């Protein structure tokens, strides 16, 4: 349920763009992110740090897009989010007991067959690289392609790439834990 809820703002943005253009889509995205954060708080009595940060970026860059009537501001948001995640993954190598990738994926693995720290460091570095490349790809698409192409890349491309990377990573980790 939570995974589907996370995709609602993105779906709302894509639909609003299709029917109303970039400025309507920006306003809808801003409202959807506020709603997502409110649902987070109502369900869990806290706001997910990822949702909070993403909502902040959407509100800041969405406001700039609407006030200055320039979609480039909104186009920066995915890159800033991706590059922030790159830094978070890298920083987790020195901050905290375990790398962020280990905190994310280890609960889904059998506890009786733990994977070693060197493997988790490689996985963590891989995710940092993925987010760095996706941030760069977003900038390239935003500047080199049409607005419609960028919207499709943001809504479908980034979502599919992250989904495939997550599933592939989970399957690979599962196979490694079975061998451990």
pLDDT digits (tens, 9 = 90+) for 28-60: 999 999 999 999 999 999 998 889 999 999 999
C-alpha 83 chain-centroid distance: 10
pLDDT digits (tens, 9 = 90+) for 99-118: 999 888 888 777 777 788 88
pLDDT digits (tens, 9 = 90+) for 143-155: 999 999 999 999 9
* Residue 63 exposed, middle or buried by CB count within 10 Å (0-12, 13-18, 19+): middle
Q: Is 99 left (phi over 0), alpha (psi -120 to 50) or beta?
A: beta
The average confidence (pLDDT) of the chain is 92
Structure tokens at 43: 């369900």
pLDDT digits (tens, 9 = 90+) for 75-108: 999 999 999 999 999 999 999 889 999 888 888 7
Nearest 5 degrees, angle CA 76-CA 104-CA 177? 135
- pLDDT score of 145: 97
- The one-character DSSP state at 154 is I
- Considering 12-21, 36-45, 169-178, the range whose residues carry the highest mean pLDDT is 12-21
* Residue 106 exposed, middle or buried by CB count within 10 Å (0-12, 13-18, 19+): middle
The predicted model scores a pTM of 0.91
Non-local CB neighbours of 151 within 8 Å, separated by 6+ positions: 13, 14, 17, 22, 25
> What is the C-alpha to C-alpha distance for residues 137 and 83, in angstroms, rounded to an integer?
11
């Amino acid at each position: 349920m939570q995974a589907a809820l996370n995709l609602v703002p993105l779906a709302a943005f894509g639909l609003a763009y299709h029917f109303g253009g970039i400025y309507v889509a920006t306003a809808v995205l801003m409202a959807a992110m506020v709603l997502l954060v409110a649902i987070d708080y109502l369900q869990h009595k806290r706001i997910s740090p990822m949702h909070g940060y993403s909502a902040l970026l959407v509100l800041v860059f969405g406001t700039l897009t609407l006030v200055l009537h320039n979609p480039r501001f909104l186009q920066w948001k995915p890159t800033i989010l991706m590059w922030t995640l790159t830094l978070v993954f890298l920083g987790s190598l020195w901050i905290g007991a375990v790398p962020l990738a280990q905190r994310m994926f280890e609960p889904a693995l059998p506890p009786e067959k733990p994977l070693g720290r060197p493997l988790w460091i490689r996985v963590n570095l891989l995710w940092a690289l993925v987010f760095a490349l996706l941030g760069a790809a977003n900038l390239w698409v935003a500047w080199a392609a049409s607005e419609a192409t960028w919207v499709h890349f943001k809504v479908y491309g980034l979502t599919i790439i992250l989904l495939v990377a997550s599933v592939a990573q989970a399957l690979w980790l599962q196979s490694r834990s079975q061998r451990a």
